[in-house]
Amino acid sequence: MMKWYSIGTLSFPAFWAAVAAAFVSVYVYLRLQRKKQAADLYEQLAEGPAFQCRDECQRHRFKKR
């Protein structure tokens, strides 16, 4: 027997509610991941090769011999 939910005059099976909740959850997760990826990309671009070279040069300069 299927369980039904009602909101006002709209009735729908619990399965539909579960599928809708899954889609919303996946959408939110993917949006958050996309923002994180964009932030990581911006961080990499902002640091760029000049900063990486500077860091490597400083490590080499202060390296114990």
Assess contact for 22 and 30: CB atoms under 8 A: no
In the chain, the percentage of residues whose pLDDT exceeds 90 is 26
Render pLDDT for 37-64 as a digit per residue (tens, 0 to 9).
777 777 777 766 655 555 566 565 565 5
Both tokens of residue 37?
Answer: 């990826």
Give me the pLDDT at residue 19, please: 93
Give me the pLDDT at residue 33, please: 85
Its pTM surpasses 0.75 = no
| CA proximity to 18, closest of 30, 29, 2, 40 | 2
